[in-house]
Amino acid sequence: MDFLSAITDKKLGKPLNTQQIEYFAKAAAEGLAPDYQLAAMLMAIRLNGMNARETADLTMAMAHSGDMLEPDVGGVPVDKHSTGGVGDTTTLVLAPLVASCGGKVLKMSGRGLGHTGGTVDKLESIPGMRTSLPKEEFVDIVRRVGCAVVGQSAELAPADKRLYALRDVTSTVDSIPLIAASILSKKFAAGAKALVLDVKYGSGAIMDTMEKSLALAKTMVDIGTQAGRHVIAVLTGMDEPLGTHVGNALEVKEAIDILSGRAGGDLKQVSLFLGAQMLCASGVSHNMEEAEKMLRKNLESGAGLSKLAEMIAAQGGDPRVTEDLSLLPQAPVRRVVTAERAGIVSGMDTMRLGYIAQGLGAGRRTKEDVIDPAVGFIMHARLGDTVSAGDPLAEIHARKEDDYEQAAAAIRDTVRITDSAPCAHPLIYAAVTREGTRMMH
């Protein structure tokens, strides 16, 4: 295969044939092409797009670039995936909560991508936690415990693993075909039969318009349906961080706070909605109302928190973190950044907030960067809040004083305080299924 001619075809806006796409996936998985050629193809796809057939071909080629699991977990294996946001800690809340209700959550997660946090990075802030497991152990934990969350193994969708890392450092993250193929190839390879997709929309989302967000949701539902999976996509808001905590250990803390009943808010609300969809998609519950009641009951009883501790222990981590948050990594510099004027919090650049966390060390600028699990910030200001001069906007957790100063200045610049209230931003915009799109707001 002349890979350069395939790159040229896509550069000129021509559709790739199935053989060219299969070679692209094979080249990524087996090292048959250097990074610069793969990056050139990624950019050509980003600029010129792919049609529905190309996107489906790329998804299946990437899924079949490694092993394809058919796991026996004692139920319908269900997964949830978010297209990425800031303070989006839903997996750490809903995976154990859904499992405590009888769901079988078989979750393969990624690392941070661009301004968004990665669930694997968050989990690895727990002492001893293993996110790289042999596939047999991964499936066994799901069978016994009800949930496991792991990183991408070398055997599952290896084409995506290499392309995922390259997309992060080549500004090709925001491509509907690449996003859809990346997400679904991992899910298909890991054996998920039911899948709930959380597609973000707002200032912190990869997709910057409602039309693009809906297009991505519909693309993934269509591909999933063609592949015989039960796929639901939900459009949720990302005009401010979903949770109040941004940063790896900090987000683990917030998930534990929610599961223990100490915290609520938008993160809890979206987690319950997505969790109810997972219970319905996997056949554990027959309707959303019944499913949400099950989740709330196990939230109040502590069964969800106990299940998180069980999952952590099964994956080699220290389950005591669910009772003693001081066991999580702690940043040496913790200081509050305050509002410089009185008014109403009318907006914030959520994507920039994600990059502020990255700058503190919570994310990666290059593939080689090492994550600092302790750093990040806790947002005290939410959209619509009335603040006075000197009120706290955020508490920054930093490694050095200079890092705090830079982050504080950036947060003050990012959070807009005006004299007028913001427009209402719903948390849940729409649900997309094979039957069509239902607008929720």
User: Which residues touch 331 (CB under 8 Å, ≥6 apart)?
Assistant: 372, 374, 375, 376, 397, 398, 399
Tokens of 113: 């991508």
Q: Active site includes 182?
A: yes
The closest of 91, 135, 85, 86 to 109, measured between CA atoms, is: 91
3-state secondary structure of 20: helix
Residue in 153, 182, 185, 285 annotated catalytic: 182
Q: Active site includes 212?
A: no
Which secondary structure element, helix H or strand E, spans residue 127, and what is its range? none
Q: Kindly list the strands in the beta sheet with 415-418, ordered across the sheet, starting from the edge strand earlier in the chain.
A: 386-387, 343-348, 415-418
Q: What sign does the dihedral 30-43-108-308 (CA atoms) show?
A: positive
Residue in 57, 88, 160, 168 annotated catalytic: 160
DSSP string, 236-247: EE-SS-SSSEES
Q: In angstroms, rounded to a whole number, what is the distance separating the alpha carbons of residues 48 and 43?
A: 8
The closest of 251, 274, 272, 256 to 200, measured between CA atoms, is: 274
Residue in 10, 26, 64, 81 annotated catalytic: 81
User: Which residues touch 155 (CB under 8 Å, ≥6 apart)?
Assistant: 66, 67, 135
Tokens of 399: 């490694």
Contact of 71 with 224, CB cutoff 8 Å: no
Tokens of 175: 């491509």
Q: Active site includes 186?
A: yes
Residue in 64, 80, 107, 167 annotated catalytic: 167
Which secondary structure element, helix H or strand E, spans residue 87, and what is its range? none
Tokens of 329: 């990594």
DSSP string, 338-393: E-SS-EEEEEE-HHHHHHHHIIIIIS-SSTTPPP-TT-EEEE---TT-EE-TT-EE
Residue in 186, 187, 229, 230 annotated catalytic: 186
Which positions are annotated as active-site residues? 81, 160, 167, 182, 186
